[in-house]
Amino acid sequence: MSQSVDIVIGGAGIAGLALALGLADAGMSVHVVERGARPKLPDTDSGLAGWDARVSALTAASTSLLDHLGVWDDIAQVRVGPYQQMSVWDAEGTGHINFSAAQLGASTLGHIVENRLIINALLAGVDRRKRITVSWDDGVSAVDVADGAVNATLASGAKIEASLLVGADGGRSTIRELVSLPVRAWSYNQHAIVGTVELEASHEDTCYQAFLSTGPLALLPLADKALCSIVWSLDNDIWENLMSASDDDFVAQMNRALGPNCPEVLAVGPRAAFPLHQCHAVDYIARRVALVGDAAHAIHPLAGQGINLGLKDVAALAGELEQAWSSAIDVGSSEALKRFQRVRKTDNLAMMAAMEGFKRGFGSVNPAVRVLRNLGLNWVNQAGWLRDWFARQAVS
Ligand SMILES: Cc1cc2nc3c(=O)[nH]c(=O)nc-3n(C[C@H](O)[C@H](O)[C@H](O)COP(=O)(O)OP(=O)(O)OC[C@H]3O[C@@H](n4cnc5c(N)ncnc54)[C@H](O)[C@@H]3O)c2cc1C
């Protein structure tokens, strides 16, 4: 079977689906190919196991893109956790920094949203658009670029011809490999344990983050005021012990790590763990191919920026392609792709460098570095303008 569309996208994650909606709205025909099965409708029970262990802290830019695509209301109507404050501290010292939406003159700093709710709303958006088709349980397995078109061969043997192929197939992108786009990658030698916890008091719409020498521990406030989603990044020599600990032991260790700076944790739901690595494609584009989201850049989750950067890629690429399309210019031409790459690489590299600095600074056991980081955090907290500047970087 062979078919022809304007754009073929590999990967039906948040980045791939959001891009498909944006391109279809601009008038392009889109075929999305996803290796996995179509996700089932999420079950939104109120018990600890009824919450997705994978959540995203979405910035205002991300929610406004989802709104523009007509899917934010579908998500917000189910359940989202708007957060008004951030409280960040050095668990091995005295450094502490707090900031709030009110200080920035904003109504909120962002929203904590279960990933499966975002995917489900994007899929409902796909179902409403005639210009998008999705192949499930199939993957892009070969790519052939010819004059005027790119041909993607799927694992099932089907072939799709398009003007442009977009790799939105995640951190271990096959498409990136198939078109030989090199990466700079290294492992953090950490895993992140995620899950949902119940607190003894309200989270008060606050994101809590403790920096431990073994990795950061974040509590992200959910729509239910007694529940938070956790992301506990831990060095490779200790994460397995904690992952296999009993729930009671896990909760006790978590309360010890958090100390008195946030409400006590009473219980934990099902846990999952993910290896953490940093990966950045040297180039995001090749002939008739572009990468977006984690396929282009995967970063440490400590600032919750991964999909926010991915959605900025989506907005930038959709904008460039829409402009080319409306001017009857080939959407696979290098001019539009080069502009996309220039804009997004600069922004992504700046965020990746900042995350790397945080990760190294807080992972250090050097006493001089520890003193400096505590003095630095407290100084930033007291210097109002600098604290507000940091806050704006975290939420924009
Ligand atoms: C513990 C943890 C916490 C995080 N918290 C946050 C947060 O708070 N905020 C935030 O912004 N980010 C966060 N992130 C990062 C965020 O989850 C990722 O940036 C985001 O999921 C990447 O989305 P994506 O669509 O680019 O890729 P993915 O979600 O990886 O989707 C890729 C899709 O492509 C499919 N695929 C793979 N290969 C092929 C192929 N050959 N052909 C077709 N399909 C294929 C996969 O099955 C998958 O569905 C976190 C990450 C981790 C690990």
Residues in the chain: 396
Q: What is the mean pLDDT of residues 108-130?
A: 97
Considering only CA atoms, which residue is closest to atom 12 of ligand 1? Answer: 306
Higher-pLDDT residue of 91 and 241 is 241
- Cα 316 to chain centroid distance, Å, stands at 16
Better-scored residue on pLDDT, 149 or 42: 149
Q: Can you give the pLDDT at residue 345?
A: 93
Has residue 365 got a pLDDT over 70?
A: no
pLDDT for the residue 179: 97
Q: Which two tokens stand for residue 122?
A: 């994007």
- What phi, psi does 253 have (nearest 5°)? -65, -35
**In this model, does residue 113 exceed pLDDT 70?**
yes
Query: Minimum mean pLDDT among 185-194, 207-216, 296-305: which range?
Result: 296-305
* Portion of the chain with pLDDT greater than 90, in percent: 71
pLDDT of residue 103: 85
Burial of 49-66, coded b for 16+ CB within 10 Å and e otherwise, reads eebbbbbbbbbbebbebb
Mean pLDDT for 123-128 is 98
User: Could you identify the atom of ligand 1 that is nearest to the CA of residue 10?
Assistant: 43
pLDDT digits (tens, 9 = 90+) for 298-341: 988 877 789 999 999 999 999 999 999 999 999 999 988 999 99
Q: Which domain holds residue 354?
A: 2-395
343 CB contacts (<8 Å, ≥6 apart)? Answer: 316
Residue nearest to atom 42 of ligand 1 (CA): 139
Residue 348: how many CA atoms within 13 Å on its side-chain side? 33
**Torsional sign, CA 185, 188, 193, 196:** negative
Cβ–Cβ < 8 Å for 355, 363: no
What is the total count of domains within the chain? Answer: 1
Q: Please tell me the predicted confidence (pLDDT) of residue 99.
A: 85
- Pull the structure tokens for residue 289: 């191919």
The ligand 1 atom at the shortest distance from the C-alpha of residue 14 is 25
CA–centroid distance, 300 to ligand 1, in Å, is 12
Among the atoms of ligand 1, which is closest to the Cα of residue 292? Answer: 26
* Biggest alpha carbon–alpha carbon distance for the chain: 64
Round to whole Å and give the CA distance between 231 and 246: 18
pLDDT digits (tens, 9 = 90+) for 221-251: 999 999 999 999 999 889 999 999 999 999 9
Count Cβ atoms within 10 A of the Cβ of residue 331 and give its class: 0-12 exposed, 13-18 middle, 19 or more buried. buried
- At residue 44, the pLDDT reads 79
- Output the residue whose Cα is nearest ligand 1's atom 40: 139
Q: CATH no. for residue 335? A: 3.50.50.60
Choice from 274, 294, 317, 351 to test ligand 1 binding pocket (greatest atom count within 8 A of CB) = 294
Ligand 1, residues at Cβ distance < 6 Å = 10-16, 33-36, 56-57, 139-140, 168-170, 174, 192, 194, 231, 274, 293-294, 301, 304-308, 310
Mean pLDDT over 346-364 rounds to 71
pLDDT tens string 249-272 = 999 999 999 999 999 999 999 999
- Residue 215's SS3 state is strand
Query: Given a cut of 90, is residue 201 above it in pLDDT?
Result: yes
Measured distance CA(339)–CA(321) in Å, rounded: 10
- What value does the mean pLDDT take over residues 155-167? 97
Q: What is the pLDDT of residue 6?
A: 98
pLDDT at 353 over 80: no
At residue 92, the pLDDT reads 77
Model pTM?
0.92
